[in-house]
Amino acid sequence: MAAPPLHPALDRRTLLRLGGVAAVGATAAVTGCTRLHTGDDLPDVAGDYDGPPLTLRFWNGLTGGDGPVMRKLLAEFTEQHPNIRIDMYALPWTNFYQKFPAAVASGLAPDLGLMHNFQVATNAVRGVLSPVDSIMAELGLTEADYPPTVWNSGIVAGQRYSIPLDVWPDSLFYNRRVLADAGLDPDDPPQTGDAYLAALDTLAGHGIQGHWLPAVDPQGVGRGFDSLLWQHGGTHYDEAGAEPLFDSDAGRAALSWQRTLIDNGFSPRDTSGSDANVAFKNDRNAFLWGGPGALINDLGKVDGLDWAAAPLPRIGDRPAAFCGSHQFVITRRRRFDADRVRALVTFLGWITANSLDWAAAGPIPARRPVLDDPAFAELAPQASIARGIDAIRFYPLIPGIAEVQTTILYPAIGDALLGNLTVPDALATAARQARFLLEENLTKYRGS
């Protein structure tokens, strides 16, 4: 289904123009001093929208299997609320984050966006988001509705800039047939470090390399490091976002454990995430670590594949798992129309209450009442993954932090696993480089 137009003036030519000015718009929004929109200019609204027909514009990066699920939900919403149409435009996430600030700066912004939690702080200080505290209050959403990690996400300088829709924690996906053929219980995947290594050793005895570590894919292997760092009691950065802390005993323990998987022959060398995925689908790999959105959709399409999922095993002394979240944001405007805000509130109340249907796309609903719904307990493997929801961890709410992770830390993890650097040298080098970028971010995003 082709994406409907966002705005009479927002045709393909306009989108291309936005791409050309995106860097300029983003720079203007963050250079010199912070443009954090701390004033809550949203008008007070109450009740569902019952005015004349209107159309809300909605941007996101749902270009995969999750896109059709969202479009189906939007159609259901409009069927129940015929006076509110929502035009959704999905573009690749990289393009989304490039064009979104430029659209706001040019006055062509959508009404609503869906954004990763680790990009909220960056875009809040760019001045392209409006605080949503009043909307949370109107919807009656409180701390009791979410796990603590999820509730605290999106709060920047004491104000909330996003409304969580879901979470997608890295989880353990396991091939039940491969485990059974090696004499392991396919209904009891390993959930401790000792049990995990014992299972890998047993699998090796049957000619199976059980955990294909994607050393040539920094994103995939880096998120595994994140989980292990937290499990060993470490953290990435100080609260001010000025000092890297991953070059620590916890960081070295986390990366050394990953390295042992290769050194002990439990993983091939120089493998990629797609290699691991293909091996899993062909019963040559027992375990995958990854997020439920993409993997549930992907693995569910393979006829005859016998698989399931569980929370990540506890390798360190505490449970923890890297997690992301899709969160709704409202764009900053010079002046808000009360009818459009009421329509937005109507939609946000409906979609967050009906996020059980969104779970069909793979993610785990963020709201506890939805997680406690008996119907969710019947949804496999999402319900199994959700057992670990209280152990999820997010990147810290530091503007620009995603770039530090993906351009500095994760490539260093890959270098250590590929044998280009020792574990200590990889983390020390990454810390030196990260310190410069963190300092630059402090200046760029906070004017300090």
Q: What residue spans define the domains of the chain? A: 12-165+325-379, 170-322+399-446
Packing angle of the helix pair 117-125, 93-106 (nearest 10 deg): 30
For residue 430, the model assigns a pLDDT of: 98
pLDDT of 36 reads 54
What is the average per-residue pLDDT within 228-243? 95
Neighbours of 43 (CB within 10 A): 14
Give the sign of the dihedral formed by CA 60, CA 65, CA 66, CA 69. Answer: positive
C-alpha–C-alpha distance, residues 56 and 84, integer Å: 7
Long-range contacts (CB closer than 8 Å, 24 or more residues apart) made by 9-16: 9/108, 10/57, 10/103, 10/108, 14/108, 15/91, 15/99
Q: How confident is the model at residue 263 (pLDDT cuts 50, 70, 90)?
A: very high
Tokens standing for residue 172:
């353990």
Average pLDDT over residues 183-199: 97
The percentage of residues in the chain with a pLDDT greater than 90, rounded to a whole number, is 79
- 214 by DSSP, 3-state: which? coil
Q: Distance between CA 398 and CA 442 in Å, rounded?
A: 9
- Of 1-5, 94-98, 399-403, the poorest mean pLDDT is in 1-5
Residue 108's pLDDT band (cuts 50, 70, 90): confident
Indicate whether 34 pLDDT > 50.
Answer: no
Two tokens at 328?
């709704």
Which H or E element spans position 437?
A: helix 423-446
Q: Which fold has domain 170-322+399-446?
A: D-Maltodextrin-Binding Protein; domain 2 (3.40.190)
Asked if residues 91 and 63 have their Cβ atoms less than 8 Å apart, the reply is yes
CB burial of 178-206 (b: ≥16 within 10 Å; e: otherwise) equals: bbeebebebeebbeebeebbebbebbeee
Mean pLDDT over 245-259 rounds to 98
Whether 12-165+325-379 and 170-322+399-446 share one fold: the answer is yes
Cα 179 to its chain centre, rounded Å, is 29
Q: What class has domain 12-165+325-379?
A: alpha beta
C-beta of residue 169 within 8 angstroms of C-beta of residue 366: no
Q: How confident is the model at residue 294 (pLDDT cuts 50, 70, 90)?
A: confident
| pLDDT of res. 6 | 35
Specify the DSSP element, H or E, that contains 60: strand 54-60
Contact 393, 320 (CB under 8 A): yes
pLDDT of residue 226: 97
411-428 residue pLDDT tens: 999 999 999 999 999 999
Model-level pTM?
Answer: 0.89
Report the chain's mean pLDDT, rounded to a whole number: 89
Query: What is the rounded CA–CA span in Å between residue 320 and residue 289?
Result: 13
